[in-house]
Structure 1
Amino acid sequence: MGTIARNNDFCPLGFKQWTSFPTPRKEDIWNLGKFKIDNKGRKWVLSLIGKKWKDYKSDLKAMYYDLVTPDEAMRNYPNKVPIDQWQILVAFWNSDEGNVLSLNYID
């Protein structure tokens, strides 16, 4: 499930939160056929992928954004992330909304 969550084609990084992912996209993920789980487990599987996706974004932020300026983050981004998705992430992390959301995730 973590592999799916880190796949930029299945789970693009431009969404602010997993809850903002369109339902058809979540259906596509469920229908990949990778899960040998009864349909009753669908909600749990998608929720776990959502958590892995959020953790992945958090890891990227810690490794490539938190200790540098937004301009440096744009010049030194991870190769595994498409530039258009990285631009969206950096712009969001640099926004007031992104800062408030990040503060809400601090333990």
Structure 2
Amino acid sequence: MNVAYWIIASLLAAFYLYGGALKAVRSRDGLRPMMAWVDSTPMPAVRAIGLVEVLGAIGLVLPPLTGIAPRLALAAALGFVVLQLGAIPVHLRLGDRRLALNVTLLLAAVATGWLATTWL
């Protein structure tokens, strides 16, 4: 179970670290080709989502790695579940029916959260 957690959590953390960093630093024009939803979202909200994603990615890896407050990994995984449960309706509202990535991220976050409970 520990190996499975590290595989899924590392991939999830890498994805959110990259995406979150982009949202935190790039302009609206730089994000638009990858994320059409930024046109309908205020930039402070986009930046906040990016910051949450970066902090969540750190929360998936650092606490279990150091052994300090490992329950934070479960909180980070649940945060990503909530994030995707909010992202899917936004994509649907904007007419984007390509939800495979969102559903994959949602399932990976659920699996990571479940695997994180093995050491609680």
| Both proteins in one fold, TM over 0.5 | no
Calculate the TM-score normalised by the size of structure 2: 0.31
Quick check: which one's helix share is greater? Answer: 2
